């Protein structure tokens, strides 16, 4: 009987030994790889022949981010380069830093590129006009990894002091965006050149990100309050070096120094598949196909069709899945939604007690404005409105029932009772 196990992909010697990274274009048509040599390679999806080479580039390229029309590359010499995809050529330098670049990221609309380097300041540059710059300065350590959220509203920095700094990018495009949060106690302290990852990977639903921890787990952090949520635990036995969500967020792929690539089920945080590959530095999911590409420190590129095993490939066909929360706000809202009453009436709204700490009367020493014409029908005279907004008719009680239907109660009187008295005392 023939084996149904997927064929192991071949290693493609794309670059010289050293830092090697990859990124798919958003439309999935091309895979861009960069490395230590002065060659950039463009692999066409579905074509198994030789890639397109771009030789007009720097050496020691350490990061790449791609749009459909262009890609940007950061190098250790401090240059941020812009390349045209249709022409497969170098176009321009967007930026230069005085110290080595460590990471680059494009905003969701590809109008801004963020650059992390060994400098303390993170710079954001417009990709269509590099004279426009923004600076993130409130953190005081170099940045190893950075990421825009899925809407481009915040920028998160994983710094070498073991703190994640979050900046607000909304509103007016000021030169110095505001630092709004410090997330401590999640990542460890690392040098910028370390192969161990503290990469911030935003879940596709935009409500949380995942990041490797010093305990070899992957922690999910909520955007709403920047608190810890679920964690992917007990998978790797070595430090984590790369991670990436599937396009629909149903799975997470991670690589570690234990020479394993793991596939996790997002919903259960359980490992559903393991692949043996050493020295992996970067992982990229194809946007629409069951293909994952990854690179290693030997300068090799792997393009892995049927990466997700057949028994789990249905997860890729799901719609966008939610990030793994301990208490998911979406499910709680759904569970707490009011259901209509059986008789079609609106549920009663409770009024705060007048002597309660939070009531208007207790604070302002006066009646609520809507209570000025409020009448309490405490004698049952029938001058209040019923649930239909009409006054009660004569001959009906406060429940709308005819008085004729009331049960007549006969009151039975008993002789007075005296302590110590029995019926035999006066007989």
Residue 266 to residue 327: CA distance in whole angstroms:
15
What's the pLDDT score for residue 7?
Answer: 82
196-217 average pLDDT score = 98
What's the pLDDT score for residue 333?
Answer: 53
Among 206-215, 237-246, 352-361, 378-387, the least confident range:
352-361
Burial label, 55 (beta-carbon count in 10 A; 0-12, 13-18, 19+) = exposed
What's the pLDDT score for residue 418?
Answer: 56
Percentages helix, strand, coil for the chain (3-state, rounded to 5) are 5, 35, 55
What's the pLDDT score for residue 84?
Answer: 97
Is the pLDDT higher at 67 or at 389? 67
pLDDT digits (tens, 9 = 90+) for 345-375: 444 444 444 444 444 444 444 444 444 454 5
**Considering all CA atoms of the chain, what is the largest pairwise distance in Å, rounded to the nearest integer?**
128
Among 17-21, 141-145, 280-284, 411-415, the least confident range:
411-415
174-187 average pLDDT score = 94
High-pLDDT (> 70) share of the chain, %:
75
In the predicted structure, residue 1 carries a pLDDT above the cut 50:
no
Please tell me whether residue 11 adopts helix, strand or coil conformation: coil
What's the pLDDT score for residue 404?
Answer: 52
Q: Beta partners for 123? A: 115, 135
Measured from the Cβ of residue 177, the count of other Cβ atoms closer than 10 Å reads 22
Average pLDDT, the chain: 85
Angle at 79 between CA 73 and CA 84, to 5 degrees: 40
Do residues 210 and 232 make contact, with C-beta atoms less than 8 angstroms apart?
Answer: yes
- pLDDT category of residue 327 using cuts at 50, 70 and 90: confident
Do residues 247 and 292 make contact, with C-beta atoms less than 8 angstroms apart?
Answer: no
In the predicted structure, residue 340 carries a pLDDT above the cut 80:
no
191-213 average pLDDT score = 97
| Closest among 132, 88, 98, 139 to 113, alpha carbons compared | 132
Global confidence as pTM: 0.77
One CATH from 2.130.10.10, 3.40.50.150, 3.40.1080.10, 3.40.50.10860 for 12-332: 2.130.10.10
pLDDT digits (tens, 9 = 90+) for 130-172: 999 999 999 999 999 999 999 999 999 999 999 999 999 997 7
Residue-range domain boundaries for the chain: 12-332
What's the pLDDT score for residue 415?
Answer: 58
């Amino acid at each position: 009987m023939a084996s149904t196990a997927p064929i192991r992909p071949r290693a493609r010697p794309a670059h010289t030994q050293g830092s090697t990274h990859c990124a798919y274009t958003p439309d999935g048509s091309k895979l861009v790889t960069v490395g230590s040599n002065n060659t950039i390679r463009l692999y066409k999806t579905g074509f198994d022949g030789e890639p397109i080479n771009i030789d007009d580039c720097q050496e020691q390229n350490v990061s790449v981010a791609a749009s459909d029309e262009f890609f940007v590359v950061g190098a250790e010499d401090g240059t941020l380069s812009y390349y045209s995809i249709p022409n497969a050529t170098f176009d321009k330098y967007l930026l230069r830093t005085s110290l080595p670049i460590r990471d680059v990221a494009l905003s969701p609309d590809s109008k801004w590129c963020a650059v992390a380097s060994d400098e303390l300041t993170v710079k954001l540059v417009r990709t269509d006009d590099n004279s426009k710059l923004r600076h993130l300065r409130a953190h005081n350590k170099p940045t190893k990894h950075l990421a825009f959220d899925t809407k481009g509203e915040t920028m998160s920095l994983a710094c070498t002091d073991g703190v994640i700094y979050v900046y607000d990018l909304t509103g007016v495009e000021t030169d110095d965006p505001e630092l709004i949060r410090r997330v401590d106690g999640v990542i460890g302290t690392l040098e910028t050149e370390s192969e161990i990852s503290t990469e911030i990977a935003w879940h596709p639903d935009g409500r949380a990100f995942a990041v490797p921890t010093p305990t070899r787990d992957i922690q999910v952090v909520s955007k709403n309050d920047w608190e810890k949520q679920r964690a992917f635990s007990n998978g790797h036995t070595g430090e984590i070096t790369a991670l990436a969500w599937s396009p629909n967020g149903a799975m997470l792929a991670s690589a570690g120094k234990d020479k394993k690539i793991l596939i996790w089920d997002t919903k259960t945080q359980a490992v559903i598949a393991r692949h043996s590959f050493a020295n992996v530095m970067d992982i990229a999911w194809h946007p629409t196909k069951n293909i994952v590409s990854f690179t290693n420190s030997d300068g090799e590129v792997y393009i892995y069709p049927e990466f997700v095993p057949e028994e789990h490939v249905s997860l890729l066909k799901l719609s966008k899945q939610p990030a793994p929360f301990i208490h998911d706000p979406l499910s709680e809202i759904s569970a707490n939604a009011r259901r209509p009453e059986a008789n079609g009436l609106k549920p009663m709204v409770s009024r705060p007690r007048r002597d309660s700490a939070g009531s208007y009367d207790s604070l302002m020493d006066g009646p609520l404005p809507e209570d000025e014409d409020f009448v309490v029908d405490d004698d049952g005279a029938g001058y209040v409105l019923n649930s239909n907004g009409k006054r009660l008719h004569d001959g009906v009680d406060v429940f709308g029932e005819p008085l004729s239907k009331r049960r007549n109660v006969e009151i039975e009187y008993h002789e007075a009772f005296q302590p110590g008295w029995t019926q035999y005392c006066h007989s």
